[in-house]
Structure 1
Amino acid sequence: MKTTQSIYDAVLQHMQQSNFSFNFTLSWPPQEQDEYPSIYKTGRTFYAYFTPVILIVGFIGNSLSFNVFMSKGMRNLSASVYLAALSATDLVTLLCYVMVEWFRRGLVYLQPEWKVSFVDTDYLCQFQMYTSYVSRMSSVWLVVAFTVERYIGVCHPLRRIDICTVSSARRIVICIFVTSLTLVLYKPFMTGVFISGNGNKYCTTYPKYNLESFILDSVYGLLITIIPFTIISVMNFLIINKLFARKRKQKKTRILSEEALVRLEFTSILFVISFCFVVFNIPFLIMWIRNFFHSKHISNQINESSYKVDYWRGVLYITRTIFYANYCINFFLYSLTGAYFRRGLKALFCRKSDGLLRSHSVLTRYNSHSHTNQSWV
């Protein structure tokens, strides 16, 4: 039993260093840069300088996206309910997770004397940890819910009128938030503020809960990575297969109604969101899996050089920064693939627009489901 506990302690320690247990618990600005591999210095520099860009772009982009999807006409679409909620959760994630971790890891790397210690105080530490867990889980499963909604709309159009409604979308969003709030209730009760040997405070798991936290964080990791990745990939494959099958049956060019174009636009938005979601998350996931299995044999790696350990930490910083970009990229994806989104964005700055009034009329007709049986998307 003692051996088993020591293995879990070693695994947990390594997971904390890799941050897939979603804590940055160790804060150590490099003291002697020449002793670190170039990839480590490159990774930390990339993380330190690029993360603020992600924060600025993400705050602006998600705020604009939220306002567009909540604007007149757009807010009466079931798809807009999911995308507005996604923008809101991404804002919370940027504030409570990305920015806080950059304070702990990035800012202190650029300016070691600029230490932001208020985030590592009792109550605020637990609140920040809990909020970041909830927002990240909610963000992932909102993408899943949007994917399922589009799958029903494309592959089961006759059921769309009963299932893909604004009221059902709102209920699903609330259900996702409530479920996320419930599933991660364990985190604040297992987290506390500790003081390191050099006197620095850090927010991490109580040592007595190491084993329980390891198990629950592993389940949490599966719920925001492998499981949603699988659902999204399968659903997208079925959607694409259905669209191509319908296209092959059409011998002549068919002019789509504007209502069908709206559905096609949201389907395109789904594809680019889910594709970027998977692409930006996979590198960080692979690095965590590598570090996880690596730590399984940590007792046999005592003689491993710190140079090699720092090499993989540098790679982890790079993949982490790419992972963060997932929370700021959606605005550009909406702008590239959504003509109605661009019109709504224009309306935020120009209230009088004939194109906007026409779009509102089309979106209202689309939401009424009056053309459901004629639509092929």
Structure 2
Amino acid sequence: MGRNLRTMDWNSPFWTFEYLYVYYDSLPLEDRIYYALFGSQVIYYPLLAAVGIFVNLLTIMILSRGKCGLSKCVTRYLLAMAVGDLLVVITDLILRQIPIAYQVHFQFLDSIPVCNIHAVLLFAATDCSVWFTVTFTFDRFVAICCEKLKSKYCTEKTAAVVLGTVSVLGCLKNMFWYFMFRQQYLLSNQPWFCETTNNVLESRVWAAIELLHYILTPCVPFVLILLLNAFTVRHILVASSARRRLRTHSSRESPRDPEMESRRKSIILLFVISGNFILLWAVFTLTCIWSRMLFLGYGSVIAPDFVQELGFMLQLLSCCTNTCIYAVSQTKFREQLKNVVTYPFTACVKFLK
């Protein structure tokens, strides 16, 4: 059964549900999953976009107030991650995935290179969002494991320089996308979502460049985050063991250890953010690299189409989860979130009184 359904002109964005209803019994399991996922995107993506904009703006507002009990350095990294996620929601979810799901084609854009510009902005925002997570992980590694470097590196000024450098490099790295596409959009949910220039898909040079792009983001971040977290865990286990031995020899010592409690909270935040990123990006990363390897002539097994759809959906979900992570792991952030959410209601009550 052909899979070029995205290029077909359907009157309703909910055509896949109708298709499933009519042909469900005759379809193999793989096709049922594929069409169900694709059909659900007309609801999933708009809902995710609305949630993503709301929670990331809420996070930016709360962190900007500086009342979450976090250092200014950590606050800068978390703010940057929220801004990066917000940009991904706008450039990818709103300007790419929703028009694809609803089969909307903007013909007035065909005369200007907006598709090329959009590609650069989209992938630059994605790169920044990913690498901001890496820089935060490295900052926490230095803060916990490198006492001598901590005072010099873990500062607000250093965080600003690091985040600015990552942003500039992310934009420069993705300039090649501008020359890879033509102006016209294709309603295709692929890593390349605009009409490609002649022979780009078959060109080994462009394929190698694109493969390198997906290795740098997010494969290298995967490895760096796992290594940094492994070193951090090892350091914490050694330090905790030493502190326990010292405390057992001091009867005057309070059973409560503020230093270890502070480290525990930091490491919980770090590990949950890192784990969330790796889990939600894993499927997308594997399918993108595997598809490009197939174009280069390597590999003989083709992953089912629904795996790629699932990868897109999970990857974009990662832009909306950090607020929940902060609320679960950080008591003061949870209090600030409660105050911000309930403020309109309390203000109304005070006004009525």
TM-score by length of 2: 0.77
Matched residue type, 2:271: F
Is the contact between residue 37 and residue 309 of structure 2 (CA under 8 Å) also seen in structure 1?
A: yes
Match of 1:192, SS state, is strand
In 2, the alpha carbon distance for the partners of 1:292 and 1:94 equals: 25
2:87, 2:125 within 8 Å by CA — same for their partners in 1? yes
Residue in 2 that maps onto 1:176: 166
Q: Contact 1:79–1:146 at 8 Å: present in 2 too?
A: yes
1:1-377 to structure 2, matched below 5 A, reads 27-28=7-8, 33=19, 34=23, 37-73=31-67, 77-108=72-103, 115-117=105-107, 122-194=112-184, 203-207=194-198, 209-210=200-201, 211=203, 212-249=205-242, 250-251=244-245, 252=247, 254-257=255-258, 261-262=261-262, 264-297=264-297, 312-348=304-340
Deviation at 1:343, TM superposition (A): 2.9
What is the CA RMSD across the aligned residues, in angstroms?
3.1
Q: Letter of the 1:181 partner, please give it.
A: C
- Report how far residue 43 of structure 1 moved: 2.0
Cα deviation, residue 158, structure 1: 2.9
Deviations 1:211-267 (A, max 9, x none): 34322221111111211100000111111121122222214475233x775554333
Q: Partner letter of residue 207 of structure 1?
A: N
Mark the CA change 1:299 to 1:230 in structure 2 (over 3 Å): closer, same or farther: closer
3-state SS of paired residue (1:225): helix
Q: Which amino acid in the other structure matches residue 161 of structure 1?
A: S
Tell me the alpha carbon deviations over residues 16-35 of structure 1, each in whole angstroms, 9 at most, x when there is no partner.
Answer: x99xxxxxxx6446789448
| Whole-Å separation in 2 of the counterparts to 1:300 and 1:223 | 24
Question: Could you report, residue by residue, the CA deviation over 1:327-352 in whole angstroms, capped at 9, with x for unpaired residues?
Answer: 1111101100011222332454578x
After superposition, what is the alpha-carbon deviation per residue over 1:120-142, rounded to whole angstroms, capped at 9, x for unaligned? 66232122111101111001111
Contact 1:100–1:119 (8 Å) recurs in 2: no
Task: Identify the range of structure 1 (281-290 vs 167-176) with the bigger mean alpha-carbon deviation.
Answer: 281-290
Letter in 2 for 1:328: C
Q: Which letter maps to 1:164?
A: C
Summarize the Cα distance change of 1:287–1:161 in structure 2 as closer, same or farther, 3 Å threshold. same
Counterparts of 1:119 and 1:318 in 2: how far apart (Å)? 29
Give the whole-Å Cα distance in 1 for the aligned partners of 2:128 and 2:299.
37
**Number of aligned residues:** 309
Structure 1 unaligned regions, length at least 5: 1-16, 19-25, 109-113, 197-201, 302-308, 352-377
Q: Do the aligned partners of 2:293 and 2:299 also contact (CA within 8 Å) in 1? A: no
| Counterpart-to-counterpart distance in 2, 1:150 and 1:340 | 19
1:82/1:216 CA distance change after superposition, 3 Å: same
Matched with 1:23 is: none
Question: 1-side partners of 2:263 and 2:74: how far apart?
Answer: 9
- The answer to whether the 8 Å contact 1:137/1:224 transfers is yes
Q: Does the 8 Å contact 2:45/2:98 carry over to 1?
A: no
**Alpha-carbon shift at residue 117 of structure 1 (Å):** 4.7
Q: Which residue of the partner structure matches residue 367 of structure 1?
A: none
CA distance in 1, matches of 2:275, 2:299: 38
Q: 1:290 to 1:125 in 2, by over 3 A?
A: closer
